[in-house]
Structure 1
Amino acid sequence: MIVAFGTYDAARHPRVGVLVAGLQAHGYEVAELNRPLGFSTAARVRMLRQPWRLPLLLLRLLACWALLVRDAAAHRRVHGAPDAVLVGYLGHFDVVLARLLHPRTPVVLDHLVFAADTAVDRGATGLRVRLLQGLDRLALACADVVVLDTDEHRALLPTPRVRRAFLDLPHRRPVGENPARSRRRGVVVVPVGAPDAWFADAASRAARGRGIPGPDGGTPAVAGPLRVVFFGLFTPLQGAVTVAEALADALPRAAAAGRPIEATLIGTGQDHAAARSALEGVDGVTWLGWTAPADLPELVAAHDVCLGIVGGTPKGRRVVPNKVFQGLAAGCVVVTSDTPPQRRLLGDHLELVPPADRRALADRLVDLTDPVRLAAARARAHGARDAIRPAAVVGPLVAALDRRGIRP
């Protein structure tokens, strides 16, 4: 049995849900010991930018940990020690507790986000970044298998000398395991993928005639304006200002050509005010605040085009974000930046534009108002759906577990 462990919130951050569903699809029994912190994405971002809020995080974390310790003890009494412990996304602290509770069990850390890298991307400098670098290293030190989402993130792992200092901790091998083997840490790259709910909502919208492809991959024509959606935290990585400036260019041009575009922007965050300013007075724009995670798949699936990320930051060139996978699963055409990881993983199925190039993004959106071009783009997008399902993306993790003798 594998135990998924931690204070993660699979509704707000679905990555761990994808891993759990994928492992279950491969025949693994997965039990979840989960006590969500309860902080929204917006609250987490505020804590990153305003360190004086961290005591609240610490108090909440300790309360959740007390419950997790009780849950882990009860689970062990009934089921014995697990074969592996999977620590979910944003588990920088949780992995320490997992290591203490399971000193001889392989611990798998889904290290989707480097804390220091994220802080730098959002403007942090100095001591805060150095502290977060230490947190990243501590988290890695507690894991036997580190799961990342791109090769570019793999390159952020500490240098060999630092790895030896931080990763070669003693007394962590399962009973009977070869000591030399136990010191070898595994690193696997597992794409983010999309939860099953996003695929279900695409099918639902197809049945109601919005023009989203059904199971046969058909590409019916879409009636009415081209509907474009952007959702997220409005961060530099996402290129929210570039998105707004591109829409401010594209919407009037499309309307003048008789093929209008309607845009929906969902969320709030760092660059939200600047994005709203760029779109001031532009017709055809709808602004929505935070949307319940359960409602987001259906909302996105009601659109023809989902925007990924178009920022020009270094971090933006290392990721394939959630919204790219989710947009594809929802049956949308996905327009996103032409970066190495996105091109390598899904390039044949995406509409790629240069990072931070508002004119190129505007031109691509205007092009997609042509029903023929939209149909072709939709067919390309539909071809990615099987490759981004949970059972498909967890393949490298399944192989890593198998190498350690952990099998269904």
Structure 2
Amino acid sequence: MPRVLAFGTYNVRKHPRVGILIDGLRKNGCEVAEINKPLMLSTAERVEILKKPWKLFGFGLELLGLWHSIAKHARTWMKTNGKPDAVLVGYMGHFDVLLAHHVFKGVPIVLDHLIFAGDTAKDRGAQGLKVKLLKRLDRMAINAASLVVLDTKEHQEMLEPGDASMVVPVGAPDEWYEAGKQAGERSTDIVFYGLYTPLQGVPVIVKAAQILVSRGITPKFTLIGKGQDYEKVRSISKGMNNITFREWVEPEELPSVVASHAISLGIFSTTPKGLHVVPNKVYQSMAAGCAVITSDTAPQRRVLENGVVFVRPGDPKALADAIESLVADTEYLTRKQHDARTAAQRFTSDVIARDLAQWISNNK
């Protein structure tokens, strides 16, 4: 049985991806232990540090303290158990993988690299030297890994030819599938959740809602989250009484909250990053049994197939038309919910981690 050590300052509660991989590896016959001291930063704060590395000094003592703790724990673990067959460094592990490379000499290191620092910063408005430095950070992290795991082919193509890599879809945790099974009767309510970054395209959602109002169609929208475009979205939606804003929902509550809605919304931006990803909310919403609408991009169409309803990126009218077609036709809505649940079975933790478990077994 291959022994894997999940290592780093990842936070499964806030960023479930590494938890999905750990669960999937276990279901595929790997023994997985964890050495983890979560760095209590949000995705937005971590990305802000990637955009502005000098802010690293603001939490440097905390990070160094966590690194000291996990490095010490790792050495103690290896004295008792020997070296693991592989080390898994979780999502947003740009810094953690450098530590892992130092601590676990001679051990294959798997880096879950869903975010390219340079690409993400550029998507959020950075340019010039800052982007170049962050691309250098990406390269340092990739060079420290034996295998780089990415979520789409488009991200894989951003690597250099000699980089060892594997595409593993983001997938969804088991609790999202369970929430879908337990969901009662759904109304025609619509939900969006996530950071209000340009990638998400939340202004497109509220503009679509305005178009629907002009047609006399007023389904209830719940928009969960906060971020860069939040004030802009609130301004656009001023006076609309069919939109409810919730700035935060506890991660443990989110699956059931989403599953109580008929329709869940993905991403709708036209940014380069928006054309490269399949967001976790799409996998999660399909698992929860919602009909899902998201942007018609190459990775999403290739991966999701008929599991979702596609609309042109950045097009409020196209999104309004898609929403209207679902809320106006109960049979169509039910069919797309069924399509979502069916497609979601391809993205359970055991399915998505199968090839990774095989790689670890072959390279131990």
Q: What TM-score comes out, normalization by structure 1 length?
A: 0.86
Query: Are positions 1:186 and 2:144 aligned together?
Result: no
> Contact 1:90 / 1:111 at 8 angstroms: preserved in 2?
yes
**CA-to-partner distance for each residue in 1:134-174, whole Å, 9 max, x for gaps?**
1000001111111011100011113x4xx5xxxxxxxxxxx
Deviation at 1:380, TM superposition (A): 1.3
Matching residue of 2:33: 31
After superposition, where does 1:277-296 map in structure 2 within 5 Å?
A: 277-296=235-254
**CA-to-partner distance for each residue in 1:220-274, whole Å, 9 max, x for gaps?**
xxxx5x1101111111111111111112222453xx35xx411000111011111
Instruction: Please give the alpha-carbon distance, in whole angstroms, between the structure 2 residues aligned to 1:250 and 1:394.
Output: 41
> Contact 1:251 / 1:262 at 8 angstroms: preserved in 2?
no
Please tell me the root mean square deviation across aligned C-alpha atoms, in Å. Answer: 1.5
Gap change, CA 1:200 and 1:252, over 3 Å in 2: farther
Matching residue of 2:331: 372
Moved more, 56-65 or 191-200: 56-65
> Contact 2:47 / 2:120 at 8 angstroms: preserved in 1?
no
Deviation at 1:204, TM superposition (A): 1.9
Deviation at 1:395, TM superposition (A): 2.2
Query: Are positions 1:210 and 2:189 aligned together?
Result: no
Matching residue of 1:196: 174
Gap change, CA 1:340 and 1:288, over 3 Å in 2: same
> Contact 2:171 / 2:348 at 8 angstroms: preserved in 1?
yes
Percent identity, please: 46
> Contact 2:151 / 2:170 at 8 angstroms: preserved in 1?
yes
Query: Are positions 1:387 and 2:362 aligned together?
Result: no
Q: What TM-score comes out, normalization by structure 2 length?
A: 0.96
Amino acid at match of 1:371: T
Query: Are positions 1:340 and 2:302 aligned together?
Result: no
Instruction: Please give the alpha-carbon distance, in whole angstroms, between the structure 1 residues aligned to 2:247 and 2:44.
Output: 11
**CA-to-partner distance for each residue in 1:278-302, whole Å, 9 max, x for gaps?**
1111121100012221121111111
Name stretches of at least 5 consecutive residues in structure 2 with no aligned partner.
none
Query: Are positions 1:108 and 2:67 aligned together?
Result: no
Amino acid at match of 2:170: V
Moved more, 291-300 or 333-342: 291-300
Partner SS, residue 34 of structure 2: strand
Gap change, CA 1:42 and 1:291, over 3 Å in 2: farther
Partner SS, residue 189 of structure 2: strand
Amino acid at match of 2:331: V
Matching residue of 1:234: 196
After superposition, where does 1:127-138 map in structure 2 within 5 Å?
A: 127-138=129-140
> Contact 1:246 / 1:359 at 8 angstroms: preserved in 2?
yes
After superposition, where does 1:10-29 map in structure 2 within 5 Å?
A: 10-29=12-31
Amino acid at match of 1:395: R
Instruction: Please give the alpha-carbon distance, in whole angstroms, between the structure 2 residues aligned to 1:123 and 1:92.
Output: 20
Partner SS, residue 86 of structure 1: strand
Task: Say which of 298, 314, 335 aligns to 1:356.
Answer: 314
After superposition, where does 1:252-291 map in structure 2 within 5 Å?
A: 252-253=214-215, 256=216, 260-291=218-249
Instruction: Please give the alpha-carbon distance, in whole angstroms, between the structure 2 residues aligned to 1:192 and 1:210.
Output: 28
Instruction: Please give the alpha-carbon distance, in whole angstroms, between the structure 1 residues aligned to 2:11 and 2:284.
Output: 17
Matching residue of 2:69: 67
**CA-to-partner distance for each residue in 1:280-338, whole Å, 9 max, x for gaps?**
11121100012221121111111111100010011101100110101111111110000
Matching residue of 2:269: 311
> Contact 1:4 / 1:86 at 8 angstroms: preserved in 2?
yes
Amino acid at match of 1:297: P
Gap change, CA 1:374 and 1:302, over 3 Å in 2: same
Deviation at 1:371, TM superposition (A): 0.8
Deviation at 1:46, TM superposition (A): 3.9
Gap change, CA 1:251 and 1:231, over 3 Å in 2: farther
Amino acid at match of 1:65: W
> Contact 2:292 / 2:340 at 8 angstroms: preserved in 1?
yes
> Contact 1:193 / 1:389 at 8 angstroms: preserved in 2?
yes
Instruction: Please give the alpha-carbon distance, in whole angstroms, between the structure 1 residues aligned to 2:206 and 2:190.
Output: 12
Matching residue of 1:297: 255
Instruction: Please give the alpha-carbon distance, in whole angstroms, between the structure 2 residues aligned to 1:398 and 1:48.
Output: 30
Partner SS, residue 379 of structure 1: helix
Partner SS, residue 188 of structure 1: strand
Partner SS, residue 274 of structure 1: helix
**CA-to-partner distance for each residue in 1:341-369, whole Å, 9 max, x for gaps?**
00001121110001101100011101111
> Contact 2:92 / 2:114 at 8 angstroms: preserved in 1?
yes
Partner SS, residue 59 of structure 2: helix
Name stretches of at least 5 consecutive residues in structure 1 with no aligned partner.
164-184, 212-223
Instruction: Please give the alpha-carbon distance, in whole angstroms, between the structure 2 residues aligned to 1:42 and 1:97.
Output: 23
Instruction: Please give the alpha-carbon distance, in whole angstroms, between the structure 2 residues aligned to 1:129 and 1:142.
Output: 20
Instruction: Please give the alpha-carbon distance, in whole angstroms, between the structure 1 residues aligned to 2:51 and 2:206.
Output: 24
Instruction: Please give the alpha-carbon distance, in whole angstroms, between the structure 2 residues aligned to 1:40 and 1:60.
Output: 15
Deviation at 1:57, TM superposition (A): 3.1
Amino acid at match of 1:402: S
Deviation at 1:400, TM superposition (A): 2.1
Which aligned runs of 4 or more in structure 1 are off by greater than 3 angstroms?
45-52
